[in-house]
């Protein structure tokens, strides 16, 4: 398990098997990691617990092989059961403070935020990093709140912990985050929805490096 002080959040991949169009999740993630993905968040919103557990075990084996962190979306129990590096929580999920008490200080707790107040609260509650968005229109998640690049910059300046931008980020709009000083970008379709996953990750990573 990695120390949460040494995490590279640069290219943060959130899974969504629907955008893979039947392609294998594990081999797709391997290609993404080879292309530069530095963190994987496993998100399975509509999967039964046993299936989620089995998938998470397989993904855990892969991420361990490449020595990158695996974050589990929402499900603290799954994160603990498979020895994940941490959990990512939304505003309607288990409170970050409670997750921190359960997980202890060595595992990662990430929180989705869309306002300065939520960001400051997440940091106060013990979050290791925050996800901020949605920056752009996204097809992989409904009921998102809009965050402008200007607000993203303001949120980044309000906390000391790493900030990861999320929501509809792709190869054609990532440059709009120039000047925000974010620590990483979280994407789904911009990598997993592409025919050549490794190349998509590689080029997006390069674009983010150019503005960072």
Which one from 17, 100, 141, 153 is the annotated catalytic residue? 141
Q: Is 13 marked as binding a ligand?
A: no
Which one from 28, 38, 43, 194 is the annotated catalytic residue? 43
Q: Is 181 marked as binding a ligand?
A: no
Q: Is 140 marked as binding a ligand?
A: yes
Q: How far apart are CA 163 and CA 133, in angstroms?
A: 10
Q: How far apart are CA 49 and CA 56, in angstroms?
A: 10
Q: What share of the chain is helix, strand, coil (3-state, %, to 5)?
A: 40, 15, 40
**Three-class secondary structure of residue 115 per DSSP:** coil
Our answer to whether residue 43 is catalytic in this structure is yes
Q: Are 161 and 196 in contact (CB under 8 A)?
A: no
Q: Is 38 marked as binding a ligand?
A: no
Place of tokens 């059961």: 81
Q: Is 2 marked as binding a ligand?
A: no
Q: Is 11 marked as binding a ligand?
A: no
Q: How far apart are CA 138 and CA 190, in angstroms?
A: 10
Q: Is 28 marked as binding a ligand?
A: no
Q: Is 31 marked as binding a ligand?
A: no
Which one from 2, 28, 60, 112 is the annotated catalytic residue? 112
Binding-site residues sit at: 41-45, 73-74, 93, 112, 138-141, 168, 188-189
| Residues labelled as active-site residues | 43, 112, 141
Q: Per the annotation, where are the binding residues for Mg(2+)? A: 74, 93
């Amino acid at each position: 398990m990695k120390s949460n002080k040494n995490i590279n959040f640069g290219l943060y991949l959130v899974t969504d098997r629907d955008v893979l169009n039947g392609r294998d999740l594990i081999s797709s993630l391997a290609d993404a990691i080879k292309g530069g993905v530095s963190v994987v968040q496993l998100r399975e919103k509509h999967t039964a617990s046993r299936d989620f557990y089995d998938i998470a075990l397989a993904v855990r084996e892969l991420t361990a092989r490449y020595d990158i962190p695996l974050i589990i979306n929402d499900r603290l129990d799954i994160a603990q059961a498979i020895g994940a590096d941490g959990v990512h929580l939304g505003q309607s999920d288990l409170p970050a403070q409670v997750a921190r008490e359960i997980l202890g200080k060595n595992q990662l707790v990430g929180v989705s935020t869309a306002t300065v107040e939520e960001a400051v609260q997440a940091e106060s509650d013990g979050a290791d990093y925050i996800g901020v968005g949605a920056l752009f229109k996204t097809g992989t998640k409904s009921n998102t709140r809009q965050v402008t690049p200007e607000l993203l910059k303001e949120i980044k300046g309000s906390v000391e912990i790493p900030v990861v931008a999320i929501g509809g980020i792709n190869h054609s709009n990532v440059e709009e985050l120039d000047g925000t000083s974010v620590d990483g970008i979280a994407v789904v379709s911009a990598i997993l929805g592409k025919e050549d996953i490794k190349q998509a990750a590689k080029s997006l990573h390069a674009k983010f490096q150019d503005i960072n």
